[in-house]
Structure 1
Amino acid sequence: MASIFSRIVAGEIPCHKIAENDQYFAFLDVFPCAVGHVLVIPKKEIDYIFDLEDDHYLGLMAFAKQIEPAIRKAIPCKRVGVAVIGLEVPHAHVHLIPMNSMNDMNFNHKLKPSQEELAETAAKIRSFLN
């Protein structure tokens, strides 16, 4: 069975897309740790990030690095934190989370933004992509 992320990539489940190319996809987390929390995934469904082939792993990180400046410009923050937890969904993914303090990366405290708030945040981040 396809992971929820594969179903998002396939368009079966709606998302607030930030960016994509032929191999990678970035979208907002619907239960973010902080406003602007973006998930970056390979389109190829692989459960564990360290099972990715080296070039695919490096490509995923390079794609995430392209998204980070847009997040930082759209969401006032000191830094964009990077986390790989890998237990929530059986599909490799990287969390990009705007941070002003360590508490902004607290995965035990999730926000519940409306679909309208998510759409506004996604549009704002996309507006800063090159």
Structure 2
Amino acid sequence: MSTLFTKIIAGDIPGRFVWADDVAVAFGTIAPITEGHMLVVPRAEIAQLTEAPDDVLAHLVLVAKTIGQAQQQAWSAPRAALLVAGFEVAHLHLHVLPAWDEASLSFRNARSDVPAAELDAAAERVRAALRDQGHAAHVPATLGSPAL
């Protein structure tokens, strides 16, 4: 059975893509903890962190690092945070978000009321920073497509 993220990656459900390669994609969450909160997701359906092959997990972390660097640039954030929980969707995903303090890194701070235009703008800021940092080859041609 396809997961929600598999459907987003396939284009069956809209997504705000900032990164795509053969192994992983990154797209904006619809319930950001901070502005610019992105999810790094393997294309393969892997249920959780402990089931990921080492090479896939290493790749996801490197993509998360790159996304975090773009977020730090785009929001002048002192840190990029990485959270792995996975309770909401049984498809491995890394939460990457610009961070200013540990207190704000709680899923209780997630907002589900962010207007679509603001989510789009945040994704575009990350996409622009990725291009600026030399990663244009992995920034999808359009916000709504995981294809390069």
* Shared fold per TM-score greater than 0.5: yes
Superposition TM-score, scaled by structure 2 size: 0.84
| 1:48 equivalent in alignment to 2:42 | no
Residue 108 of structure 2: aligned partner? 108
Which residue in the other structure is 1:36 paired with?
36
What's the offset of the Cα at 1:100?
A: 0.9
Question: What residue number does 2:65 align with?
Answer: 65
Across the two proteins, how many residue pairs are aligned to each other?
A: 130
User: What secondary structure, in the 3-state scheme, does the structure 1 residue paired with 2:26 have?
Assistant: strand
Q: CA separation in 2, counterparts of 1:116 and 1:57?
A: 32
Identity across matched positions, percent: 32
Deviation, structure 1 residue 7: 0.4
Check conservation: 1:98, 1:104, Cα contact below 8 A: no
CA distance in 2 between counterparts of 1:69 and 1:56 reads 20
Deviation per residue, 1:79-114 (Å, 9 max, x gap): 111110111100001001111122321101222211
C-alpha separation in 1, matches of 2:37 and 2:27 = 9
Structure 1 spans left out of the alignment, 5+ residues: none
Dislocated runs of 4+, deviation >3 Å: none
Q: Return the offset for 1:67.
A: 1.4
